[in-house]
Amino acid sequence: MTIELIGLEHIPIVDDNDDISKILKDAIDKQGCLVEHGDIILIAETLISKAEGNFIRLDDLEPSDEALDLAEKSKKDPKLVEAIIQQSNEIVEVGPSFIITETKHGFVCANAGIDESNVGEGLATPMPEDADKSAVEIRKSLESEFGEEIAVIITDTQGRAFRFGAIGTAIGCSGISPLWRRVGEKDLYGRELETTEIATADELAAAASLVMGQADEGLPVVIIRGFGNFDDLRNVDSDISPLLMPKEFDVFRK
């Protein structure tokens, strides 16, 4: 299998009320890469939040007593900490420079997924309100424009337990199952797989992140072409929920 990663150029600085689907179509047309059956389009969540006008104006926030206490422990700006609290269901743990929370969406990550990079002074972008819904709308629009079956994955950059460094992670998807359950298949020695599940959407997001970068690369959209299991995992009713572990199974929060 050969997989191609195409960084989509010609993406302008996005502002609220911009039509992401139209921006992507125009960029694809300009680049001349077309859209093929099985393409997976991965979009950085900041692009989605900005286009949907989903900004946090930090100077408008008044830190609560809880925010002031957490800010002292984490050495973070109290107004940013207040934003983190407002975007979270639960504060899980506080580190020397981060706050692990469960976001309103059910993701467990640092700082509620709030991003202060690639956005104007005094602003921050939370995660999209509903990344699955955004992925559905973009997928349907592009499938209608190009006449091909594709998938769309919304990505974020997150850390991982017990490992240094951030990695691309899927927070919304449409058109492909995010989790590949391989239980019952055979390994090379004929033994039946009993527990194997692959976080396919996260693996695709991590691959795309290598092209997107984290600084001034200006490539918030990547097309992955040639993923051979697209048809097997094709699912127009998919969302990100199969990747989210229920709290009762999270042994580190018991």
Residues 176 and 221 in one domain: yes
3-state SS of 1-65 is CCCEEEECCCCCCCCCCCCHHHHHHHHHHHHCCCCCCCCEEEEEHHHHHHHCCCCEEHHHCCCCH
Residues 76 and 170 in one domain: no
Interior CA angle at 240 toward 6 and 34, to 5°?
25
Residues 233 and 168 in one domain: yes
SS percent in the chain: helix, strand, coil, step 5:
35, 25, 40
The CA–CA distances, whole Å, from 194 to 68, 86, 112, 181, 213 equal 48, 40, 34, 10, 36
Instruction: Please tell me the predicted confidence (pLDDT) of residue 216.
Output: 61
Sequence-separated (6 or more) residues with CB below 8 Å from residue 72 = none
Residues 44 and 96 in one domain: no
CATH of the domain at 87: 3.90.1660.10
Residues 192 and 213 in one domain: yes
Instruction: Please tell me the predicted confidence (pLDDT) of residue 30.
Output: 95
Residues 141 and 214 in one domain: yes
pLDDT tens by residue, the chain, 254 residues: 899 999 999 899 888 889 999 999 999 999 999 999 999 999 999 999 999 999 999 999 999 999 999 999 999 999 999 999 999 999 999 988 899 999 999 999 999 999 887 777 888 999 999 999 999 999 999 999 999 999 999 999 998 888 899 999 999 999 999 999 988 888 888 898 888 899 999 999 999 999 997 656 678 999 999 999 999 999 999 999 999 998 888 888 76
Residues 62 and 167 in one domain: no
Residues 142 and 155 in one domain: yes
d(CA 173, CA 26): 22
CATH of the domain at 219: 3.30.1330.100
The domain boundary, picked from 123, 144, 167, lies at: 123
Residue 238: which domain range?
4-54+129-253
